[in-house]
Amino acid sequence: MLKLGVLASGRGSNFQSIIDEIDAGNLKASIRLLITDNAGAYAIERAQKHSIEYLCLSPGDFSSKDAFYSRIADEMAKRDVELVVLAGFMRIVRKPLIEAYPHRIMNIHPALLPAFPGLHSQKQALDYGVRISGCTVHFVDEGMDTGPIIIQAAVPVSPVDTEDSLSERILRLEHKIYPHAIRLYSEGRLSVEGQTVKIINYNMSDDFIINPPLNG
């Protein structure tokens, strides 16, 4: 069973979707630890409710950013975590964690990368006037949302969309593709080749390149 560690800064709805898929028996994994950088994160309540161990670590309490990430890597390793999952973690991960978990850190981003990396990507997409947006699960490297892409899902953008309505439509898909990407990893079906990820024994159901109707 795959041992997961989660990093989250806020609401934690993606964290919840992973918990739910594990509980439903659709993802053979266990969450060994949640680490948050925000003592007010709602993700903490979710961890408490599901008896998941959590730690709150503040970067300000460390001598440097690298020291903060070394500590995260140590805490994960102590619990035999095999895959680190970023679920709304609002910081750029630095070398000590990336080197401890090479191609073993995933992130979800609410846009079709490489378009609209960074913050407020749904607003960036609206301001740019794209007709299709979506979400991306990728492995984490030292850049901002630049690591190898694992899976993506697309949604249409309506002329009357607001940042909130588009975010919500994308979020519903995030909750589907993130657990699926973790499942592919847990089955040993992801192979990183340079900037690309190959899905081993690929079949169409591994992809979420779908456009749910705007009212769907």
Which is nearer to ligand GRF, 85 or 184 (by Cβ)? Answer: 85
- From 50, 103, 109, 138, active-site residue: 109
List the 196-199 sheet strands across, edge first: 54-56, 29-36, 2-8, 83-86, 105-109, 132-139, 149-156, 196-199, 190-193
> Residues 88, 96, 134, 147: which binds ligand GRF (CB under 6 A)?
88
Q: Which of residues 161-180 bind ligand GRF (CB under 6 A)?
A: 171, 174
> Residues 72, 83, 100, 108: which binds ligand GRF (CB under 6 A)?
108
> Residues 12, 134, 147, 179: which binds ligand GRF (CB under 6 A)?
12
Please state, in angstroms and rounded to a whole number, the distance separating the CA atoms of residues 106 and 29.
Answer: 15
Q: 109 catalytic, yes or no?
A: yes
The yes or no reply on residue 36 touching ligand GRF (CB under 6 A) is: no
The yes or no reply on residue 182 touching ligand GRF (CB under 6 A) is: no
Residue ranges in contact with ligand GRF by CB under 6 A = 8, 10-14, 87-88, 108-110, 171, 174
